[in-house]
Amino acid sequence: MQAIQYDRFGGPEVLRLTQVPVPEPGPGQVRVDLRAASVIPGDCKLRAGHLTALFPVTFPKIPGRDGAGLVGKVGPDVADVAVGAAVCVVAQHIQPGTYAESIVVDRDAVVPLPSNLTFEEGAALMHAGVCAWICLVEAAHLHRGMRVLINVKAGAIGGLSIQLTHHLGAYVATTCSSKNAGYVSKLGADEVIAYDRDDFSRGLRDFDVVVDLIGGDVHDRSYSVLKRGGTMVALRAAPIVDRSREFGVRLTIPDIHDRRYALEAVVGLGKLSAVQPQICDTLKLQDAAAAHRRLEAGSVSRGRLVLQMA
């Protein structure tokens, strides 16, 4: 089968298309013959060698965290997954990833692809959707009537976070570039602050929750937006200074996990059309290096880049 691999850390040029054996599922495992895989920032950071302390990879490495395809084979002890079923799949960074025509994962890493989504949409949904769901539901305990500021620009996680907040009945404000203001409004944002025109921290106040995926100065300025007793949810981006005690708020840095109940919750939202995964562009598997260059150049917004298998 074809797969993208790299055998050393470096720039996008280390990614190469190669032939590798089709993996065989063992006990409790499922082989998924992939049709699409999303490209996420973590793939680039791992390839560049920036995440070695967290994820000790073994070379040669197949990158990719999530994808979608058809079940090709099941191993012993797997009775509830049918060969030929359309599924979404999540791989861990230390495992062989989804930039390949097939992948073997544990049964709990496989969930049904909603029939109203394409393979490309299923791939774009998983990691971004899990991040949004954990931040808003598990970490912030979001419920109807709350006021939420989402500082994640107009990327994949931001777009799904806006949709999920709107679906749960909360008021959602978000920051983005002025060129993306109309886009995030259509996703369900009640208020949009263009960061290239206005400083959100000067006008916004009394929010229950801030979701911050940017860090640095944006994180620092976000504390003044929260009311006392509010919640700051921050994922690891630029370094942050914890000012939660100063402002009387709670800071939480959630663990982004891939437990089966979270995966099922996300695809359930997709099945209900409560969230619609956004795709910036689709490329062929062999164009993985080009996809990484675009992501690292900051030219990817309005959803995920998705790789399609032949």
Tell me, yes or no, whether 145 and 169 share the same domain. yes
Residues 133 and 202 in one domain: yes
% of the chain with per-residue pLDDT over 90: 93
Retrieve residue 173's tokens.
């404000």
Confidence of residue 121 (pLDDT cuts 50, 70, 90): very high
Shared domain check, 290 and 178: no
- Judge whether residue 152 has pLDDT over 90: no
pLDDT score for 155? 86
- Per-residue model confidence (pLDDT) at position 154: 76
In a domain, 266, yes or no: no
Please choose, from the candidates 299, 297, 290, 307, the residue with its C-alpha nearest in 3D space to the C-alpha of residue 15: 290
Domain shared by 81 and 155, yes or no: no
Q: Is residue 60 domain-resident?
A: yes
Residues 110 and 160 in one domain: no
Asked if residue 86 and residue 46 are part of one domain, the reply reads yes
Domain range for 237 is 127-252
Same structural domain, 143 and 111: no
Residues 217 and 158 placed together within one structural domain of the fold: yes
Do 105 and 204 lie in one domain? The reply is no
Task: Kindly tell me if the per-residue pLDDT of 224 is higher than 80.
Answer: yes
Whole-angstrom CA distances from 178 to 6, 107, 192, 197, 200 are 37, 43, 9, 7, 13
133 & 244 share domain: yes
User: 96 and 56 in one domain?
Assistant: yes
pLDDT digits (tens, 9 = 90+) for 94-116: 999 999 999 999 999 999 999 99
Number of domains composing the chain? 2
CATH number at residue 191: 3.40.50.720
**Proportion of the chain above pLDDT 70, given as a percent:** 100
Q: Is residue 61 part of a domain?
A: yes
Residue 268 belongs to a domain: no
- Domain with residue 95: its CATH number is 3.90.180.10
User: What are 31's strand-pairing partners?
Assistant: 73, 104
Domain for residue 111, yes or no? yes
Instruction: Give residue 252's pLDDT.
Output: 96
Whether the pLDDT of residue 287 is over 90: the answer is: yes
Residues 151 and 192 reside in one and the same domain: yes
User: Under DSSP, is residue 268 helix (H, G, I), strand (E, B) or coil?
Assistant: helix
| Cα distance between residue 299 and residue 209, in whole Å | 28
